[in-house]
Structure 1
């Protein structure tokens, strides 16, 4: 999976944060609070995100409502999987990753592993 570009990430961030479908106009208006961006630019990038399978869209009147297909967490997990794929030794890469984690993150990882084990046992 390729990392999202800057504007792609900004658009997805808003849609993930809002947790509801939104129009291009809503995204543009929010982006323009921090920096100028043209409606047509956001519309083009949103259409690209839809074509790539990142967004679903549903027609509401004359506008499209966009909704993320994946959660922010699923995106982050896919990036981590890609990072592991870059190593010839996935175990060593995992060890380096875990060594850089805080105690709270390690505890969360342990809990996640226990949850996966419980699911596997059915």
Structure 2
């Protein structure tokens, strides 16, 4: 598990960047060969994640509300399964943000101009592959 982000002023607990915890949970679910309970997700993330059970439950609930995971009742708990991997979740988020803007060309132009050179090369290669 990557290190946590610096804490907010006045808080003693380090905080993660928005979406990072969701991505880690989605990855744990995507790598599993079966649906997982929140406790199993917590165990898969490991002690270094330094998470509480309730944080995992809250994050899974939010992911379910977003449509990123499915869930089915299993006894008194739910078992969760990822709909897509972390890359798919991020791509969906990028698409939602782009859909909110009427001037998509400007957004895409600024996005591409801010890319690292290696990322721009990957994007150009991917777009070229679509033309073939």
Confirm or deny a common fold (TM above 0.5): yes
Q: Secondary structure at the match of 2:84?
A: coil
Q: Secondary structure at the match of 1:95?
A: helix
- Root-mean-square deviation over aligned CA pairs: 3.2
How many residue pairs match? The answer is 112
2: CA distance between counterparts of 1:92 and 1:44? 36
Q: For residue 16 of structure 1, what is the aligned residue in structure 2? A: 27
Q: For residue 50 of structure 2, what is the aligned residue in structure 1? A: 35
Q: Specify which of 66, 69, 73 is matched with residue 83 of structure 2.
A: 69
1: CA distance between counterparts of 2:41 and 2:67? 18
Q: Which runs of 5+ in 2 are unaligned?
A: 1-17
User: Shift in Å at residue 82 of structure 1?
Assistant: 2.5
- Which has the higher mean CA deviation after the structures are superposed, 63-72 or 93-102? 63-72
Normalising by structure 2, we get a TM-score of 0.60
Normalising by structure 1, we get a TM-score of 0.64
- Contact 1:23/1:64, CA 8 A, preserved across alignment: yes
Q: Which runs of 5+ in 1 are unaligned?
A: 1-5
2: CA distance between counterparts of 1:86 and 1:52? 16
- Contact 1:54/1:69, CA 8 A, preserved across alignment: yes
